[in-house]
Structure 1
């Protein structure tokens, strides 16, 4: 029987200062460690890149957790400000990695878009061992060439090592735009597509994430 066939799936409700959040846990019988991923500002729990990341990483023997922020659990349509996202994320990840029922180390933090930003900002506090950033939003659409509007300072907080998967036509920052700001300890992988990957990007995402799975510290 394969490792994927023996995966245990669980939904855990976790308290935060912003209200309850949810952790969607997929845990293989023998886990190499834990990858915790956050969603974007539009929700997007079923986005293709998060879906493929979970499939590939669980298949490679990692416990994968998709964290649902309290604003989404509460049914709101608009995400809170960055400090509120961080304030919810940190206790949820901490609870998953400590106490009775804690998930296995090492800890890889990441997510897509706004979730990737949260992971970078909180990586040091959580003592993350690595990062996985999907569609990192370097800037808002139409603000390319505006150094005062870049999120490069957040990208610089990514843990060592980190991997980024970026669409070639992402209006929030193409791989070419991102490249000058990628830390020395991080690797940038390009996948054809925009900020939200189309169904046709699945094979390329599988290839990129399979490569990353083989390099994660576990």
Structure 2
């Protein structure tokens, strides 16, 4: 059984299932902060860890497996979340690796009517400094409504690169001003992390509302 951490209204119109990035658990300060902001905006947020992270927290040194190997775990988490929801729509997503795995699982779940959309926070379009190693093939044909929240300075893929990837029409991108992979800007930019996170939450809420 998937262990969830949940915040936000129990009977919210939208539940967002989130998995963390490769190197941090669902209780990381970043995940806690974003989840709290989304909950304050009226969303129900449910977080979970992949098995390798659960083992790591218990002393294992297991590295994260390939994203494709985690699809089954994500799908099981979706079914667990659906079984305990009090109505409303389910969106799936995550931070970095979590968002990538969600994107790989999304299409069949959407086609089956299990989810209403996908939200990726800092999508790893390619490894840093290796732009030729793209992780975008499935994103060119995706029909599941998708929102990617990405920092303008994200080393995993910035605006100029993403513009040339030929992403599917179902995908929209919200760019965080001067943001890095955690959406944090440089002080010299005049933007703030607080502002970027607030803008990201508003973009997610608007995206969810458009799904009807």
Task: Please give the range of the TM-score, normalised by the shorter of the 2 chains.
Answer: 0.7 to 0.9
Matches of 1:201 and 1:156, distance apart in 2: 30
Question: Residue 63 and residue 87 in structure 1: after superposition, are their counterparts in 2 closer, same or farther (change >3 A)?
Answer: same
Deviation at 1:157, TM superposition (A): 5.7
In structure 2, what is the equivalent of residue 123 of structure 1? 106
Question: Residue 142 and residue 211 in structure 1: after superposition, are their counterparts in 2 closer, same or farther (change >3 A)?
Answer: closer
1:110 aligns with 2:102: no
Alignment TM-score, normalising by the size of structure 1:
0.79
The question of whether the paired residues in 1 share the 8 Å contact of 2:92 and 2:117 is answered with: yes
Worse-matched range after superposition: 154-163 or 69-78: 154-163
Aligned residue runs from structure 1 range 126-145, under 5 A: 126-127=109-110, 128-144=115-131
1:25 aligns with 2:9: no
Worse-matched range after superposition: 89-98 or 151-160: 151-160
Which structure 2 residue ranges, 5 or more long, are not aligned? 186-191
Deviation at 1:178, TM superposition (A): 1.4
Matches of 1:120 and 1:155, distance apart in 2: 8
Deviation at 1:112, TM superposition (A): 1.1
The question of whether the paired residues in 2 share the 8 Å contact of 1:58 and 1:64 is answered with: yes
Matches of 2:49 and 2:88, distance apart in 1: 21
Alignment TM-score, normalising by the size of structure 2:
0.81
Question: Residue 22 and residue 157 in structure 1: after superposition, are their counterparts in 2 closer, same or farther (change >3 A)?
Answer: farther
Matches of 2:94 and 2:159, distance apart in 1: 17
Matches of 2:36 and 2:88, distance apart in 1: 19
The question of whether the paired residues in 2 share the 8 Å contact of 1:28 and 1:63 is answered with: yes
- Considering fraction of residues, name the structure with more strand: 1
Matches of 1:168 and 1:58, distance apart in 2: 25
In structure 1, what is the equivalent of residue 153 of structure 2? 169
Deviation at 1:47, TM superposition (A): 5.1
1:215 aligns with 2:207: yes
Question: Residue 104 and residue 163 in structure 1: after superposition, are their counterparts in 2 closer, same or farther (change >3 A)?
Answer: same
1:206 aligns with 2:198: yes
The question of whether the paired residues in 2 share the 8 Å contact of 1:24 and 1:65 is answered with: yes
In structure 1, what is the equivalent of residue 15 of structure 2? 34
Which structure 1 residue ranges, 5 or more long, are not aligned? 1-13, 15-20
1:94 aligns with 2:79: yes
SS at match of 1:104: coil
Deviation at 1:91, TM superposition (A): 0.9
In structure 2, what is the equivalent of residue 183 of structure 1? 168
